[in-house]
């Protein structure tokens, strides 16, 4: 089936096998990268795939840096490379450990749950960690009346509306610049044309967008919903890479974004050429490391999160050629 791949994809697929490399790609990657990946999924699904995968000698993680750091922590014996080390999530950069410490001082004894979209330093201050697909379950697993939660305040709103646990914002201004741009008016317009469509939104979207959507969930949950729905038209509020993946997987359905340029520029820093360079040269600057002092605690909370029920398995969308 290699005839469907371009030359650089074919070379990556050959080298991937030769070098025993596992390529993990986030749902927001360009389709060319999704096609050569071993697994494509959301951050929870990819974190699970990162736990000491058998038979591999290197992991290439096409996602933003904090995701690759999770893989490096969960798989300490296998080197993890990121195709472009400058792929940094601005939301993750937003929360520093000092802010977290100040909040803990303000609410002594209240546990802190951080979204995975945080730096290793901020995670080291947290009692537990969650992804968008596991946030409600993680918060409820704490067994307390209130938690400090952040940094994404829209995800905090989502959790607030799905649990009786009181949610104290770690940072009320923390937002994803891509998802914060979605508006209810975009859906109103689309619904005029497609009244029987199903609208799906990511919980990083503003609460009012969540409230007018038929389903709210992580990109992994979106994939399951689209696979199962009878709706012929599905409207999606998340980054464009996910929409393109769903369009490819479901040619029988009309799958439309709320708006066309919901693009995460950081996720899109990765290219096939950069992946090939990692496979050929293993550049030192692309090797992902986490300061040793943070590793034991973050590993403990990541493993605890991975043990929760969460959601279904990572989607396999690449065509098997090996
Ligand atoms: S889509 Fe938003 S939260 Fe996700 S990596 Fe990009 S900036 Fe960060």
Domain 179-257 has CATH 3.60.70.12: no
> Environment class of residue 13 by beta-carbon count within 10 Å: exposed (0-12), middle (13-18) or buried (19+)?
buried
Closest C-alpha to 34, from 256, 322, 319, 321: 319
- What DSSP assignment string belongs to 162-226? T-SSEEEES-TT---TTGGG--HHHHHHHHHH-TT-EEEE-TTS-HHHHHHSSEE--HHHHHHHH
CATH hierarchy code of domain 2-87+267-307: 3.40.50.10800
Pocket test of ligand 1: the residue of 95, 176, 219, 242 to mutate, having most ligand atoms within 8 Å of its CB, is: 176
Domain boundaries of the chain, sorted by first residue: 2-87+267-307, 91-169, 179-257
pTM of the model: 0.90
166-213 pLDDT, tens digit per residue, is 999 998 899 999 999 999 999 999 999 999 999 999 999 999 999 999
- Going by CA atoms, what residue is nearest to atom 8 of ligand 1? 89
State the residue for tokens 């508006």: 183
48-92 pLDDT, tens digit per residue, is 898 878 999 999 999 999 999 999 999 999 999 999 999 999 999
pLDDT at 220: 87
pLDDT at 2: 55
> What's the CA-to-centroid distance between 264 and ligand 1, angstroms?
6
- Beta-carbon count within 10 A of 277 CB: 16
**Fold: same for 2-87+267-307 and 91-169:** yes
pLDDT at 315: 39
Rg of the chain over all Cα atoms, to the nearest angstrom: 19
At 40 the three-state DSSP class reads strand
Atom of ligand 1 minimally distant from the CA of 179: 2
Ranges in the chain, pLDDT < 70: 1-3, 309-322
Is residue 132 in contact with ligand 1, taking CB distance under 6 Å? no
Spatial CB neighbours of 226, under 8 Å, sequence gap ≥ 6: 200, 234, 246, 249, 250, 253, 255
> What's the CA-to-centroid distance between 318 and ligand 1, angstroms?
23
Is residue 176 in contact with ligand 1, taking CB distance under 6 Å? yes
CATH hierarchy code of domain 91-169: 3.40.50.10800
- What DSSP assignment string belongs to 128-164? EEE-TTTHHHHHHHT-SSEEEEES-HHHHHHHHTT-S
Taken as a whole, the chain contains a residue count of 322
């Amino acid at each position: 089936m290699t005839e469907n791949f371009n030359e650089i994809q074919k070379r990556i697929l050959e080298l991937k096998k030769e070098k025993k490399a596992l390529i993990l790609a986030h749902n927001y990657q360009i389709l060319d990268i999704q096609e050569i990946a071993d697994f494509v999924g959301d951050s929870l699904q990819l974190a699970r795939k990162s736990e000491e995968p058998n038979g591999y000698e290197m992991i290439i993680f096409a996602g933003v840096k904090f995701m690759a750091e999770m893989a490096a922590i969960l798989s300490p014996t296998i080197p993890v490379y990121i195709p472009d080390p400058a792929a940094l999530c601005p939301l993750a950069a937003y929360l520093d450990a000092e802010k977290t410490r100040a909040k803990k001082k303000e609410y002594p004894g209240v546990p802190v749950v951080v979204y995975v979209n945080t730096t290793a330093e901020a995670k080291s201050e947290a009692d537990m960690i969650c992804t968008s697909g596991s946030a409600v379950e993680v918060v409820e697993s704490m067994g307390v009346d209130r938690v400090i939660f952040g940094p994404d305040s829209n995800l905090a709103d989502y959790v607030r509306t799905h649990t009786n646990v009181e949610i104290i914002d770690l940072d009320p201004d923390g937002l994803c610049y891509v998802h914060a741009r979605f508006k209810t008016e975009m859906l109103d317009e689309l619904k005029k044309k497609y009244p029987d469509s199903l609208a799906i939104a990511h919980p990083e979207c503003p609460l009012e967008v969540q409230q007018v959507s038929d389903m709210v969930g992580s990109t992994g949950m979106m994939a399951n919903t689209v696979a199962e729905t009878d709706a012929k038209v599905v409207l999606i509020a998340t980054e464009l890479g996910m929409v393109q993946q769903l369009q490819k997987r479901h040619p029988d359905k009309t799958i439309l974004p709320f708006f066309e340029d919901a693009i995460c520029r950081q996720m899109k820093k990765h290219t096939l050429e950069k992946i090939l360079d990692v496979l050929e040269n293993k550049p030192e600057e692309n090797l992902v490391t986490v300061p040793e002092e943070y590793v034991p605690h973050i590993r403990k909370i990541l493993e605890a999160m991975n043990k929760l029920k969460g959601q279904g398995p990572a989607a396999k969308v690449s065509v098997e050629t090996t």
